[in-house]
Amino acid sequence: MDSIDLEVLKTSAAWIAAGRRCELITVIKTWGSSPRPVGATLAICEDGAVIGSVSGGCIEDDLIARVRDEGIRREAPEIVSYGITADEAHRFGLPCGGTIALSIEPLSERSRIGELLARLERHELVQRRLDLRSGEVTLSQAAPGAQMQVSEQAMVTLHGPRWRLLIIGAGQLSRFLAQIALAMDYSVAVCDPREEYRAGWHVDGVRLVHEMPDDVVLAMRLDHRSAVVALTHDPKLDDLALMEALKSDAFYVGAIGSRLNNSKRRERLLEFDLTPDQLARLHGPIGLYIGSKTPSEIAISILAEMTAVKNGVPTNLIVPHASAPTKPGDAVCVAESGAV
């Protein structure tokens, strides 16, 4: 799930545990233009503190003002709408007469937010059903492809696990890639069986493992919320891991290397148990072409490409690093100086 929505749940759980009254607001429908999509969430505490967003800010201001003036009194969920009239649309910053419908749910222990978070930590895809009349909540395993549903009786929301990133190789570029991915709320693991590379390598919040990369790929059971990036330049470490990753449901599999090295890698992988369609999923040379020169810039280019793929940007709109202008004979890959 998106990092902001996960933070909303975590903050809500903390408020509930502290005995503070709070509400969870969810966008359930929009008409016309709307700053935030269906499913976006916001939590508000009895003192007016908020986390998350359901609009560009004006609706949040109104929600905060109401809580400060009236407190939190709801005992059951309520559906409210903003922006019905032209004046309201202008007041709440909804362009083109847009309208937004919100579910406002008073939270308590029976809201099962803590249980939901625990299931997300186990990397489950969870369906949360809120009875709009009684406020009763049930949690269940969600089917792949399930979507949010709202009726007069209930609201069903989907809560996916965190996005995961496996980085193969514990070098300098890996450090920057891991740090930026953490800021984007990925669950990050770095795998490198080479002791000399692991010594002294540490990033808070990143799991460092020493098993062979292909074993780690298999153990992780990669799903459609997983990505694998190989950064070692060592075929003995990269190739088998890439082979297993390309057979999985991972949404992104990429490997660092020049055009020449990438071509040789593809030839090697075809000798393994891979189909041409599986091999076509491999991103390499890796990252978007943004003129990156430093390890931190290269990390940004890699995550930019990952983000484009994750968000379903059409392939013809993604400009890969392979499209970078080159000089004749340019086939050298020096990762730490910018050619990836």
How big is the chain, counted in residues?
A: 340
Mean pLDDT of the residues in the chain: 87
Helix, strand or coil for residue 139?
strand
Average pLDDT over residues 246-266: 93
Q: 210-229 pLDDT, tens per residue?
A: 999 999 999 999 988 899 99
| 54/42 Cα distance (integer angstroms) | 6
Least confident span in 30-39, 248-257, 282-291: 30-39
User: DSSP class of residue 320?
Assistant: B
Helix, strand or coil for residue 153?
coil
| 233/168 Cα distance (integer angstroms) | 10
User: Which is nearest to 78 in space by CA: 49, 100, 56, 101?
Assistant: 101
Residue that the structure tokens 């406020």 belong to: 135
Q: State phi, psi for 72 to the nearest 5 degrees.
A: -105, 110
pLDDT at 338: 38
Average pLDDT over residues 79-103: 71
Q: State phi, psi for 100 to the nearest 5 degrees.
A: -135, 135
Q: pLDDT tier at 188 (50, 70, 90 boundaries)? A: very high
pLDDT at 47: 94
User: Which is nearest to 95 in space by CA: 37, 62, 56?
Assistant: 56
> In what order do the strands lie in the sheet containing 78-82?
50-52, 41-45, 22-31, 99-107, 78-82
Alpha carbon 101 to its chain centroid, in Å, reads 25
Give this prediction's pTM: 0.69
Average pLDDT over residues 183-207: 90
**Has residue 125 got a pLDDT over 70?**
yes
